[in-house]
Amino acid sequence: GENVEQHPSTLSVQEGDSAVIKCTYSDSASNYFPWYKQELGKGPQLIIDIRSNVGEKKDQRIAVTLNKTAKHFSLHITETQPEDSAVYFCAASIMGYQKVTFGIGTKLQVIP
Amino acid sequence: EAQVTQNPRYLITVTGKKLTVTCSQNMNHEYMSWYRQDPGLGLRQIYYSMNVEVTDKGDVPEGYKVSRKEKRNFPLILESPSPNQTSLYFCASSHSQGTYGYTFGSGTRLTVV
């Protein structure tokens, strides 16, 4: 089955700096890679996703890159703000199938 | 408001006492899924459903049951809860085409003593 590894498990950055979270996956059939943000006491919320036919996707301060050959994808947050502090999860799946595998999460702390 | 509603939010129960956690979505999503979240282990899939009357096991199905009799509802049943099922549970739903990302519920924190 699919295995998703996520690094680092914790990350502290100064406000205004960039943050990068990396994930690797094992199943070359996976073609859909979402990222979720979980704030304290809440359920995860989808913030950005990427499909295997695209190498990069941006949405304001957030970007995701995908390297299919190396089987890794990354989340980039620029100009971090205190409200970016949360736990971030990556995931991998095959579109049209419900089997979704998550990484263990990265706790991001943005220091004002 | 488009949402996934789980009940209850908090539950403390005793070993062996059957319980049901309800999940309902109002977005006409085909896909629904249950996850448990444990420290250091992330989110692990328990069961999922592709549509009404279609369910399948995820990574950690032991000790759980589900049913999908209606499109909007996907209850999680613990027939005989044990302390190792103490966890934070999330229900999630998504479309089967187009946007595949999940909408998650707010979670149910279950403690089995």
Contact B48 A99 (CB under 8 A): yes
Q: Is A40 exposed, middle or buried (0-12, 13-18, 19+ CB in 10 A)?
A: exposed
Question: Could you say which residues from 35 to 74 on chain B have a Cβ atom under 8 Å away from some Cβ of chain A?
Answer: 35, 40-45, 48-50, 56, 58-59
Q: Cβ separation of A102 and B43 shorter than 8 Å?
A: yes
pLDDT digits (tens, 9 = 90+) for A29-88: 999 999 999 999 999 999 999 998 889 999 999 999 999 999 999 999 999 999 999 999
A98 and B56 in contact by Cβ < 8 A? yes
State which amino acid sits at residue A111. I
Task: Kindly indicate the confidence band of residue B99, based on its pLDDT and cuts at 50, 70 and 90.
Answer: low
Q: With 80 as the cut, is the pLDDT of residue B7 above it?
A: yes
Q: How many CB pairs below 8 Å do chains A and B form together?
A: 58
